[in-house]
Chains A and B, each alone.
Chain A
């Protein structure tokens, strides 16, 4: 399998602080790739550089054979990378349906066609019955699903999910895991997720990258990662106590 996304020695500094320090990894086409690590490990900074919200100071980010480092967020999205936000940001005053229509219009000129596509995605994410509600009235789990739906509507090859499980109850987490697995398997969407909820990472990811202090300390299958002494030391040990 070829790499859909490839990072080589990517670094980002904020004043003196090195948030991401020479990170390299490949995400294979069709993978479910998780990035984990303690708070402040540089996960969100890494994510923002891939999504175009921040430009890397050094290193290259290649997506589908083309460098994307330093492109703006909208240009990155148009090339086929869609994201969700850690703190959800649906368009609050718009209906659930219109939120998804906005995404679907990226590659469609016709509003009717975009609406049809939005309906299909809303059914997939169990939001169809709530499509007329204002997005602001949704519960947190529904807003997270809405963000996924809006991101998917842009027709991405790669979906970036920033802590999409955070704040969900275990049953809701399982539901989201099932949805994402279906998307990956049936729609063929490659998924890169930043995640704190190990239950979801273990259930979902085919490959895991562990960041600590801005550097990669381990990469491998979920089973191998949880047994890695460095990972247990810096991250899992602290959390599972």
Chain B
């Protein structure tokens, strides 16, 4: 444990450590300070930070653009939900099933693409196609109630059952906080290791990476499989937090897009980009919603327009994302 902490922090300045500690404490005490509504907003933010981090392993590290990450979350959600509702298997055991299935699904997509030289935009289209297959397939799959949807017994908030993920939003908040922290630590360990260097080399120039002796097929496969497995937990969480699953929603391309907006706004390939991006986007969108409601305005689609404007602004002014710029401002560039 001490060795792990040392490895995670060896190149961090004192200043950076203080920032990190302050942020962590703030997130830790947040549910005690803010109201119920804000706790659910924070859960959504952490959910998107987590999925953004998972997506970033593929795109930010290994340079493979996936626009179909909803498939991995969706598989995680359905597997855990079916095991729970039909066989009474708890979500953590469900996760043990979901992760290998999601990784296997990622391996199939990756194998087809990387073996046959499908790259760039075409690879992205392939990932969309698989997510759409899943959406249409699950819509007709009787075992998961098809388009009628799968429902989990709704939790009674009398006591929190962490083992079965039944409880109040505060419990879900802490579960998602722990997951986000774990994903952050995992990504930092990965990017500082041999596999991380090889991913960056592939992202930068695949042919040059091959010339440096890297088996690019193998390392791209690792990226897809790890990213898929990490994403599947978000699905398990989704199922137990929302208690209802519809293929039309879970596998919808808008889910995939929402996962990638955070890292793009925050900074693709950075460790804090996905977290910062989720806070900025969801935070501002929720503020906008409240402001509109307070003014007595009802503008459907205002949120989507707002996302579009945010993307436009960031791409135009900070093409590397907000985090690299903010990291320089804060003097914590070693995390950029």
Contact = CB atoms under 8 A, between A and B. Distances in A.
B277 to A, nearest CB: 19
Contacts of B214: 74, 102, 106
A119 to B, nearest CB: 15
Interface string B207-238: 11111111110000000000000000000000
Interface in B261-297: none
Contacts of A94: 200-201, 204
Contacts of B207: 53, 73, 89
A194 B200 CA distance: 29
Contacts of A51: 211
Interface stretch (A18-26, A57-65, A77-85, A178-186): A77-85
Contacts of A72: 210
Highest count of chain B CB atoms <10 Å: which of A82, A85, A105, A109: A105
Nearest to B218: A74
Nearest to A105: B194
A136 to B, nearest CB: 10
A83 to B, nearest CB: 5
A212 interface: no
A70 to B, nearest CB: 15
Interface residues of A, number: 30
B210 A101 contact: no
A74 B204 contact: no
B164 interface: no
A90 interface: yes
A45 interface: no
A82 B214 CA distance: 12
B213 A154 contact: yes
Interface string B178-220: 0000000000000011100110110011011111111110000
A40 interface: no
B198 A105 contact: yes
Contact of B208 (A89, A106, A109): A89
A73 B211 contact: yes
Nearest to B195: A105
Contacts of B200: 91, 93-94, 98, 102
A74 B194 contact: no
A94 B197 CA distance: 10
Contacts of B201: 91, 94, 102
Given A98-B197, A111-B194, A106 B204 contact: no
A83 B201 CA distance: 16
Contacts of B213: 74, 77-78, 82, 103, 106, 154
A73 B206 CA distance: 11
A52 to B, nearest CB: 8
A77 B212 CA distance: 6
B43 to A, nearest CB: 34
Nearest to B200: A94
A31 B24 CA distance: 59
A106 B204 CA distance: 17
B197 A106 contact: no
A100 to B, nearest CB: 10
B212 A102 contact: yes
Contacts of A98: 197, 200
A140 to B, nearest CB: 16
A74 B216 contact: yes
A119 B45 CA distance: 42
A111 to B, nearest CB: 6
Contacts of B208: 85, 89-91
Interface in B117-159: none
Given A73-B207, A91-B200, A94-B204, A150 B193 contact: no
A51 B212 CA distance: 11
Contact of B210 (A73, A92, A105, A151): A73
A102 to B, nearest CB: 5
Contact of B204 (A77, A92, A109, A154): A92
A102 B215 contact: no
A85 B193 CA distance: 26
Interface in A70-129: 72-75, 77-78, 82-83, 85, 89-94, 98, 101-103, 105-106, 109, 111, 114
Interface of A: 51, 53, 72-75, 77-78, 82-83, 85, 89-94, 98, 101-103, 105-106, 109, 111, 114, 150-151, 153-154
Given A91-B204, A92-B204, 20 more contacts: A73-B210, A74-B212, A77-B212, A89-B208, A90-B208, A91-B201, A91-B205, A93-B204, A94-B200, A94-B201, A94-B204, A102-B197, A102-B212, A102-B214, A103-B213, A105-B197, A105-B198, A111-B193, A111-B194, A151-B212
In the A-B complex, the 4 residue pairs with the closest CB atoms: A77-B213, A91-B204, A89-B208, A106-B213
